Structure 1
Amino acid sequence: MYKKILVILMFITLTFTLFLAGCGNTTTGETTLQKAQKTGEIKIGFANEKPYAYKDDNGQLTGEAVEIAKVIFERLGIKKIHGELTEFGSLISGLKAKRFDVITAGMFITPERCQQVAFANPEYSIGEALAVQKGNPKNLHSYEDIAKDSSIKVAVMAGAQEAKILKEVGVKENQIVIVNDQPSAIAELESGRVDAVTMTGPSLQAMLDSAKSDKIERVMDFKDPVINGKVLRNYGAAAFRKEDTDFVKAYNEELEKMKQSGELLKILKKFGFTENELPGDVKAKDICK
């Protein structure tokens, strides 16, 4: 009889423990959103990548993703933001490890990333861009041009989507030079250690404007890569932990209001975006398929 009672008690204890483990916070039962609303504070992960999320000359955190998030967080009752500078390639692992609560770095939504994080709906859409040495000596106008010449080297930021895209159009892995951040990519091009640098259009333009170098230039007639017969277009969004479904829902509701009112476009324009970069009616779930 004693053994039966002991087994029952052990079962009840184990069940209760598993129930608590399934809650957003094992000590309070709060979700990330509830905790942030209660404290009025949140920690975000960013990668110091213009124009998405970076610190300006005064050390203030800004960028299109940050400014959009600030508006939404404030309307959700979260007024104070703490930024956690992280290499782009470590943002998702940092989010999952709870070093911060949201990624506001203009990260592209991809099916692979959707397996690891929950994306809000896109806040912008964008194409790729290419910078080369002055005069474009290698005559590069597309990723396909890079693929045709195995001697050409192209710099890409660690963790960025461009490395995968380059490989999909036939660029060999040994042609791709991985760097820690965008300034490093520009430095590689200026020094001649690579023949090209690729990143998104607004990001590349922001870096070139900042560098003010007479040694490099943007390829203005760059042709967007074509993958599986479709011209590539990327969509960027904030990312949350998988379990933070209430946060994603609340964020999306406020983002939609900003789209409808025109407020989203006003913020995007401050960082070099145009109406062409608006996300339209595309939803994260459509891209995650």
Structure 2
Amino acid sequence: MTQKAKAGIMTAIATISLMISGIPAVAEGKLEAIKSAGVIQMGVATEPPFSELKADGTLTGADPDVARLVFSDLGNVDLNPNVVDWGALIPGLMANRFDAIATGLIITPDRCNAVLFSEPVLCMAEAFIVRKGNPKAVTTYEELVASDAIFAAVSGTETSRALSLGMPEDRIMLVPDIFAAVELLKSGRADIIGFPDVTLYQAMKSLSEDEYELLSKVEGEPVSCTAAAFNPANQDVRDFYDSRMVALRESGELQKILSAYGFDPDLPATLSRTDLCGAPN
């Protein structure tokens, strides 16, 4: 090989090296970032049996237990709970203050426009707790609106339903969690509290059955389902969550968690994210 040929080859190699060095590195996906960090920042609200932060700092509940099992496939990844009020969950997710929400967030079309949901994790019906004998004679949301009852609930499905039927805002008391709602009911400041049935089953354990009663499965209300939620920029995490959910359902591990917390283990498989969003999400 002539010196001229060698020089040409060396020049070509140098040119290729410069070109490669100028190519930006592929950005690390969110899923890989979580795996590398060994921790996922989880947005939660206090609403047992969906999620609850115990006094010793332990995060429990059906949603966190499912999430913990899902992310265990990444290796040694811890769930770090970020406890906030309901109204701060989606804003916090969008501001990247946490990586996911796993806390009983119900899939609704409006929320589907803001976040990415996993496939349904838990499904339940709407319920009320009223005073014994149901003195306000309320068994439906229509009757609630037509009555003079003061209604306590978190900002979400229940309050949206009441407002959509024309309930005055001054008869709705927004609360941060079920515990605050129960205190309003016990103090007489609220007449009725509305939450998913499984939440109110738990709440009734702290109330006297001689004074209060549970109206489960409010007439005329559809079944609703919760799911894990993700920032739209992190579709890789959502898709991973979905794939692991399929595997956990096939193995029966998912159903064991749901049953342990009082949920119907088979109901989520009968509905899809697209059904509940009203469009692909």
TM interval, shorter chain, is 0.7 to 0.9
- Distance in 2 separating the partners of 1:214 and 1:101: 44
**Matched letter for residue 113 of structure 1:** R
Q: Does 1:73 align with 2:71?
A: yes
Q: Does 1:208 align with 2:197?
A: no
- Distance in 1 separating the partners of 2:153 and 2:79: 29
The superposition leaves residues 109-142 of structure 1 with CA deviations (integer Å, 9 ceiling, x where unpaired) of: 1111111111111112211000011222122212
Runs of 4+ in structure 1 off by over 4 angstroms are 211-214
**Matched letter for residue 192 of structure 2:** A
Map 1:147-162 → 2, pairs under 5 A: 147-149=145-147, 151-157=148-154, 159-162=155-158
The superposition leaves residues 255-288 of structure 1 with CA deviations (integer Å, 9 ceiling, x where unpaired) of: 0112222221210111121246x21242223322
**Matched letter for residue 48 of structure 2:** K
Map 1:102-251 → 2, pairs under 5 A: 102-149=100-147, 151-157=148-154, 159-211=155-207, 214-220=210-216, 222-225=218-221, 232-251=222-241
Q: Is the 8 A contact 2:123 2:223 kept in 1?
A: yes
**Matched letter for residue 245 of structure 1:** Q
Q: What SS is found at the alignment partner of 1:107?
A: coil
**Matched letter for residue 251 of structure 1:** Y
* 1:59 to partner: Cα distance: 3.2
Match of 2:263 among 273, 276, 281: 273
Match of 1:60 among 46, 58, 61: 58
What is the percent sequence identity of the aligned residues? 32
Q: What SS is found at the alignment partner of 1:91?
A: helix
Q: Is the 8 A contact 1:42 1:78 kept in 2?
A: no
Q: Is the 8 A contact 1:144 1:171 kept in 2?
A: no
Q: Does 1:287 align with 2:276?
A: yes
Q: What SS is found at the alignment partner of 1:49?
A: coil
* 1:194 to partner: Cα distance: 1.4
**Matched letter for residue 169 of structure 2:** E
- Distance in 1 separating the partners of 2:39 and 2:216: 42
- Distance in 2 separating the partners of 1:241 and 1:206: 30
**Matched letter for residue 181 of structure 2:** A
TM-score w.r.t. length of structure 1: 0.82
- Distance in 2 separating the partners of 1:251 and 1:94: 20
Q: Is the 8 A contact 1:235 1:279 kept in 2?
A: yes
Map 1:39-54 → 2, pairs under 5 A: 39-54=37-52
- Distance in 2 separating the partners of 1:202 and 1:247: 28
The superposition leaves residues 78-118 of structure 1 with CA deviations (integer Å, 9 ceiling, x where unpaired) of: 52111001111110000111111110112111111111111
Match of 2:6 in 1: none
* 1:181 to partner: Cα distance: 1.7
TM-score w.r.t. length of structure 2: 0.84
- Do the aligned partners of residues 125 and 116 (structure 1) sit closer, same or farther apart at CA in structure 2, a change above 3 Å counting? same
Match of 2:14 in 1: none
- Distance in 1 separating the partners of 2:216 and 2:42: 34
Q: What SS is found at the alignment partner of 2:160?
A: helix
Structure 2: gaps spanning 5 or more residues: 1-22
Match of 1:23 in 2: none
Query: What is the aligned-residue RMSD (CA, Å)?
Result: 2.1
Q: Is the radius of gyration larger for structure 1 or structure 2?
A: 2
Q: What SS is found at the alignment partner of 2:233?
A: coil
- How many pairs were matched up? 256
